[in-house]
Structure 1
Amino acid sequence: MLHKIHEQIRKAAEAINVSEESELKYIELAGEINRKLKAEFRDDSKALKKFKGNLDNFEAFCFEYLRIKTKTGDIVPLTLNNAQKKLAWTVFDQIKKGKPVRIIILKARQMGFSTTTEAIIYYLSSLQEAKNAFIVAQDSSASENLYDMFRLYYDYIPENIKPMRKRNNSRRLTFENPALKDVERKKEPGLKSKITVQSAENRVLARSETIHYLHISELAFWPENRKKKHLASLFAALSKEPRTVGIIESTANGIEIYKEMWDNAVAGKNDYIPLFFPWFEMPDYRMKVPADFDLTKEEIELKEKFNLNDEQLEWRRYTIRNDFEGDEKLFRQEYPSTPEEAFLVTGRTVFNQDKLDAMSKHTIKGKRYSIVIPPSLEGVGYDWTTVRFIEDERGELEIFNEFDPDKEYCIGADVAEGLEGGDGSAAYIIDADTGEDAAALYGQMDLDIYAKQLDYIGRMFGDALLGVESNNVGHSVINTLLNVTFYPNLYHHDSYNAEAGKNEAKPGWPTTVVTRPILVDSLIEGIREGVWRINDVNLIGEMKTFVRNKAGKPQAMGKGTLGGCKDDRVLGYGIAHQMRLRRPPSTKHIMIPSIGSVTIKR
């Protein structure tokens, strides 16, 4: 009797050990796979434990069990390089923490991240039950290549972890029992998981299914007329549960919705983890160095800045010379060293890009504040002594240089409607002598609030000459400045009144077919000659994407389209410089005792 009790205890302990061995950190091993492994390693628990150790180590799983086709046509184990490992570590670290995994990747060309992403998705989908994976490539050819990658993974996977597969004609791996008889399918149904690969060229994507693992490949190159609809459909289908995965990866393609998503990830405005991979992190991007190899000044700087070796620089030279016909700018866009280079705008840019690159090295981060405007007092206007500045990283006001009473300042203000998701109102306070930006005001604000902020800042900077764009909603801002806050130094523009037969001075800066070219040309000259210092990195960013459209009009690249760029800062800054050129020579500083030089109350 005692012997039987001990035997029962021993069997119970063995059952517990087997259960513990089957628990993996990142996946819940499917019943079908578990049964195959138990049958194969029935008498060798150590071998089973070692095998499951490989399943729990994604890098080992790739090398031991997954195969890829090289450019030479050889079938070899998938060996992850350091950049690919970084992606995998990021994914599995988030899974281990029980979070929904959301990652956006910006990369140089042909770095193997589709291979890695598909390996991650195959691992998660082919070893677990009831998981749906969905992959979308930019076109039919690319989607076929990705599907072939999955097929190769499946064809070479060991039989003991190869799930049953139901045959179908579409680009889909359906992991379930292919038997025709219901009794056989009920006895062993299989995983009931699937991997679907489709093209962004399709009219409809993922309308009626839940997605657990999503890969959006080369988003920047999707058909422009389908991006918005497809993304809305895919994101609605992607489960928000812990341990689900959504990966967006792409090389850059100018300024469009992918860049907007990347910028939002970098700014922390969405939950995607931004991962950037420069060209020199690709191990294959190296060439043998010739005997007469001498570094140029630029190559020496690159070598020091990014810790490059001569083989990498020789590969860079060869690629620029042969793939881009000597155009270094195109190389930087396709094989960037920084995210800024990835989104480099080529073509009909308005401002000198090299000058902007040089100026961007000297931008500074100012102190940011939110401005709390007091309520109006009936009959007496506003009590400006109660205005408060609250230090706030997302505040609308950024001060680069404190007010200097010995200097004169000008303000240019572009006006937007203040609609959420639309353009922002942008104003720049600049040194009237040097043109350097001392402060910037930017945000989506109600027009009366914007006017009161302009009034207060203008007074704070010595009653600076204030030019407000008078087009459309700008009249509302000007009305508040004239009749509510009574700003003392508002710019008035001389324009010819045909009916009266004379020039008349009207408040505000009118942006017209006559004045806009003057404003833009003045900025072109200033940037080209390098006569100003620009402190605001956001302003330089807008200048880099300020282009001439097909009709020749200078404006933001893709303006008015989904993911299009903005030019509010450019116009506000341009108006400020027009104020510099048009200010009366006798302008003097007028200080308000209640404000002083710079009153910042926290």
Structure 2
Amino acid sequence: MLKIKTKDGDIKPLVLNTAQITFAEKVFADIMAGKLVRIIILKARQMGFSTVTEAIIYYLTSLQAAKNAFIVAQDSHASGNLYDMFRLYYENVPEIIKPMSKRNNTKRFTFENPSTRPHEQRREPGLKSKITVQSAESRVLARSETIHYLHASEVAFWPASKKKKHMLSMFAALSKEAGTVGVIESTANGMDDFKKMWEAATEGENDFTPMFFAWFEMPDYRKPVPDDFELTEEERELKKKYSLDNEQLQWRRFTIRNDCNGDSRTFRQEYPSEPMEAFLLSGEGIFDNEYIQKLLDALGKPGPGERYEIDHIKGNVIRADSGELRVFKLPEEGKRYIIGADTAKGKEGGDYDVAYVLEERTGETCAVIRGHWDTDLYGKKLDRLGRFYNIALLGVENNNTGESVLNTLFNTCKYPLLYMWKKGDLGWNTNQATRPVMVSDFKEAIRDQLYPIHCRLLYKECLTFIDKNGKAEADSGCNDDCIMAYSIALQLRQVAGKWFEWYDKKQKQKQEDTDEGVGWI
């Protein structure tokens, strides 16, 4: 029953394309299953997701009582367009399903009795539902009323200074009852907060369902093929990889030439074929991202049994669905392990505290812990992790907050096998001399797959590890904490043998001293 304004200026019934149908089916399947609907969409440009999301929200709000819908676009122009879309829906539906509506403005559509007479309002109040459309440029959003249906449109293009505050206020106001809808959608815009939300969804770190839609899923993205059309080598590879036809490739050529200033890299961001293409790096990537993506694909999704929690108070490592410890291989009797630990400031939103557990002989990744903690708490978690893995050789980066972590491990926890950078200097030191060696060994390990790696987080960071003015580091807005922690573990593994020998001799001497004391008594 809904109508839209088409690209050629006509008013026609809304007919969903394939991508829109996939999205709509997911929304209504979750509603029918009694679930919260939480979806994050990464998409190519102009695929019609605002249109279908607003259609669903109009349907749900205009046919039910006491529902609040809240839509936020990136700027006032875009929010005006979305409001016009709702108005067109309302004006063109049959009278039998058109609810009463008060006088509306550019910010709110209110479905209730427009009469100014109280007795008429009491007799027939209307639905008392409403749709509010605002711009992300606004100073304050959604603080005073419950939201049942939320659409955050083109989030990657919201003002950077307001994005986190707006998202927090909106989702705090969004009802947690079954059947409520929260949709985040955007084209990518570099390494920003939207990318972090998308990555968290793909890793199962939040409750949003990630949905990606490639440019070639849009039926309109095709052009007639000229008689002299010949495929380039790149186009042949794309055709084979994504099962494209020549009309789609001709549209791609046209769009690169006319809309992207001839830059195929820009096309990949605006019209990605897969998620990794969407987030454009600010520098040259250290790795071949297609190769890294293949490694990620080979790993598959995290298993349900991987998550554990470190209870440093009771001294336990226990299964927990939302635990901070991911275990790929449990400790085995008689095996030796190494832990490389990177440290951060311990605050939400900053860098992460990360530590990797490697098996000494094979170099296999056995576990990773990642999170934000105060330095003393991180030290206590590392102590318990090291003891869990058969008294692992534990090397903590001693730069910045690392000294405090090491203080907890040495003085409070009395951890028995701490790596020492040099005599009297605990921990691993990352400096101008050691960092290039660390990065070089790390690159070799990833490129040549020298050791079994089971961690998706590590490969994800490889996708955004770039050469920035001759220095290998994370792209702006990204992290390389996993890379640094794993690199420290690789360096420790090279000298682990002598440390385990020292520890064994120390334990043997301690046992002999104990035995002599028992005999004397």
C-alpha distance in structure 2 between counterparts of 1:326 and 1:402, whole Å: 54
Superimposed CA distance per residue, residues 94-115 of structure 1 (whole angstroms, 9 cap, x where no aligned partner)? 3333444322222221110100
Give the partner amino acid of 1:198: Q
CA positional deviation for 1:310:
2.8
Which range moved further: 195-204 or 445-454? Answer: 445-454
Counterpart in 1 of 2:48? Answer: 112
1:576 to 1:244, Cα distance in 2 relative to 1, 3 A: closer
Counterpart in 1 of 2:479? Answer: 566
1:426 to 348, 351, 354: 354
2:381 to 446, 449, 453: 449
Counterpart in 1 of 2:429? Answer: 510
* Conserved? CA contact 1:428–1:437, under 8 Å: no
Q: List alignment gaps of at least 5 residues for structure 2.
A: 372-376, 506-521
Superimposed CA distance per residue, residues 468-501 of structure 1 (whole angstroms, 9 cap, x where no aligned partner)? 211244335545666766645x54435xxxxxxx
C-alpha distance in structure 2 between counterparts of 1:66 and 1:508, whole Å: 65
Superimposed CA distance per residue, residues 333-371 of structure 1 (whole angstroms, 9 cap, x where no aligned partner)? 2222323333x3421256244464565566587984748
C-alpha distance in structure 1 between counterparts of 2:400 and 2:490, whole Å: 21
* Conserved? CA contact 1:103–1:247, under 8 Å: yes
C-alpha distance in structure 2 between counterparts of 1:584 and 1:238, whole Å: 52
* Conserved? CA contact 1:171–1:197, under 8 Å: yes
Superimposed CA distance per residue, residues 354-392 of structure 1 (whole angstroms, 9 cap, x where no aligned partner)? 46456556658798474878999xxxxxxxxx9978798
Q: Please give the secondary structure, in 2, of the residue aligned with 1:225.
A: helix
Q: CA RMSD in A?
A: 4.1
1:353 to 1:321, Cα distance in 2 relative to 1, 3 A: farther
Q: Please give the secondary structure, in 2, of the residue aligned with 1:446.
A: helix
Q: Does 1:396 align with 2:325?
A: yes
CA positional deviation for 1:422:
5.9
1:589 to 1:291, Cα distance in 2 relative to 1, 3 A: farther
Alignment of 1:199-218 (within 5 A): 199-218=135-154
CA positional deviation for 1:179:
3.7
C-alpha distance in structure 2 between counterparts of 1:485 and 1:108, whole Å: 54
Q: Please give the secondary structure, in 2, of the residue aligned with 1:110.
A: coil
CA positional deviation for 1:283:
0.9
Alignment of 1:455-534 (within 5 A): 457=389, 467-479=395-407, 487=416, 490-494=418-422, 506-512=425-431, 514-515=432-433, 517-519=435-437, 522=440, 526=444
1:233 to 1:419, Cα distance in 2 relative to 1, 3 A: closer
Give the partner amino acid of 1:518: P
CA positional deviation for 1:207:
2.8
Counterpart in 2 of 1:88? Answer: 24
1:398 to 1:94, Cα distance in 2 relative to 1, 3 A: closer
Q: Please give the secondary structure, in 2, of the residue aligned with 1:125.
A: helix
Number of positions where the alignment pairs a residue of Structure 1 with one of Structure 2: 495
TM-score of the superposition, structure 1-length normalised?
Answer: 0.69
* Conserved? CA contact 1:107–1:251, under 8 Å: yes
* Conserved? CA contact 1:125–1:131, under 8 Å: yes
1:516 to 1:200, Cα distance in 2 relative to 1, 3 A: farther
C-alpha distance in structure 2 between counterparts of 1:76 and 1:261, whole Å: 35
C-alpha distance in structure 1 between counterparts of 2:312 and 2:123, whole Å: 74
Counterpart in 1 of 2:340? Answer: 412
CA positional deviation for 1:419:
6.2
CA positional deviation for 1:528:
9.8
Query: Which of the pair has more CA radius of gyration?
Result: 1
Give the partner amino acid of 1:126: S
C-alpha distance in structure 2 between counterparts of 1:144 and 1:336, whole Å: 27
* Conserved? CA contact 2:83–2:106, under 8 Å: no
Counterpart in 2 of 1:540? Answer: 459
1:324 to 1:579, Cα distance in 2 relative to 1, 3 A: farther
1:255 to 191, 202, 211: 191
1:403 to 1:349, Cα distance in 2 relative to 1, 3 A: farther
Q: Does 1:79 align with 2:79?
A: no
* Conserved? CA contact 1:217–1:249, under 8 Å: yes
Q: List alignment gaps of at least 5 residues for structure 1.
A: 1-64, 377-385, 495-503, 559-563, 594-602
Q: Does 1:439 align with 2:366?
A: yes
1:523 to 1:166, Cα distance in 2 relative to 1, 3 A: farther
Q: Please give the secondary structure, in 2, of the residue aligned with 1:147.
A: helix
1:431 to 1:210, Cα distance in 2 relative to 1, 3 A: closer
Give the partner amino acid of 1:205: L
C-alpha distance in structure 1 between counterparts of 2:313 and 2:147, whole Å: 50
CA positional deviation for 1:217:
0.9
1:325 to 1:590, Cα distance in 2 relative to 1, 3 A: farther
Q: Please give the secondary structure, in 2, of the residue aligned with 1:258.
A: helix
* Conserved? CA contact 2:287–2:465, under 8 Å: no
Q: Please give the secondary structure, in 2, of the residue aligned with 1:412.
A: strand
Counterpart in 1 of 2:509? Answer: none
C-alpha distance in structure 2 between counterparts of 1:533 and 1:166, whole Å: 67
C-alpha distance in structure 2 between counterparts of 1:141 and 1:467, whole Å: 54
Q: Please give the secondary structure, in 2, of the residue aligned with 1:264.
A: helix
Give the partner amino acid of 1:475: E
1:361 to 1:115, Cα distance in 2 relative to 1, 3 A: closer
Give the partner amino acid of 2:170: L
Superimposed CA distance per residue, residues 205-251 of structure 1 (whole angstroms, 9 cap, x where no aligned partner)? 22323322221111121111112222232223323333332222222
1:166 to 102, 108, 116: 102
C-alpha distance in structure 2 between counterparts of 1:373 and 1:586, whole Å: 31
* Conserved? CA contact 1:492–1:505, under 8 Å: yes
Alignment of 1:47-196 (within 5 A): 65-196=1-132
1:85 to 1:440, Cα distance in 2 relative to 1, 3 A: same
Q: Please give the secondary structure, in 1, of the residue aligned with 2:82.
A: helix
* Conserved? CA contact 2:342–2:397, under 8 Å: yes
Give the partner amino acid of 1:347: S
Q: Please give the secondary structure, in 2, of the residue aligned with 1:79.
A: coil
Superimposed CA distance per residue, residues 414-439 of structure 1 (whole angstroms, 9 cap, x where no aligned partner)? 134666776543234568899x6543
1:487 to 1:151, Cα distance in 2 relative to 1, 3 A: same
C-alpha distance in structure 2 between counterparts of 1:546 and 1:104, whole Å: 24
TM-score of the superposition, structure 2-length normalised?
Answer: 0.79
C-alpha distance in structure 2 between counterparts of 1:432 and 1:139, whole Å: 54
* Conserved? CA contact 1:452–1:485, under 8 Å: no
Give the partner amino acid of 1:165: S
C-alpha distance in structure 2 between counterparts of 1:373 and 1:197, whole Å: 46
C-alpha distance in structure 1 between counterparts of 2:233 and 2:329, whole Å: 33
Q: Please give the secondary structure, in 2, of the residue aligned with 1:346.
A: coil
Give the partner amino acid of 1:442: I
1:592 to 1:528, Cα distance in 2 relative to 1, 3 A: closer
CA positional deviation for 1:202:
0.7
Q: Does 1:290 align with 2:290?
A: no
Q: Please give the secondary structure, in 2, of the residue aligned with 1:565.
A: coil
Q: Please give the secondary structure, in 2, of the residue aligned with 1:240.
A: coil
C-alpha distance in structure 2 between counterparts of 1:129 and 1:402, whole Å: 57
* Conserved? CA contact 1:359–1:534, under 8 Å: no
CA positional deviation for 1:140:
0.5
* Conserved? CA contact 1:447–1:477, under 8 Å: yes
Which range moved further: 288-297 or 538-547? Answer: 288-297
* Conserved? CA contact 1:214–1:245, under 8 Å: yes
Q: Please give the secondary structure, in 2, of the residue aligned with 1:68.
A: strand
CA positional deviation for 1:294:
4.2
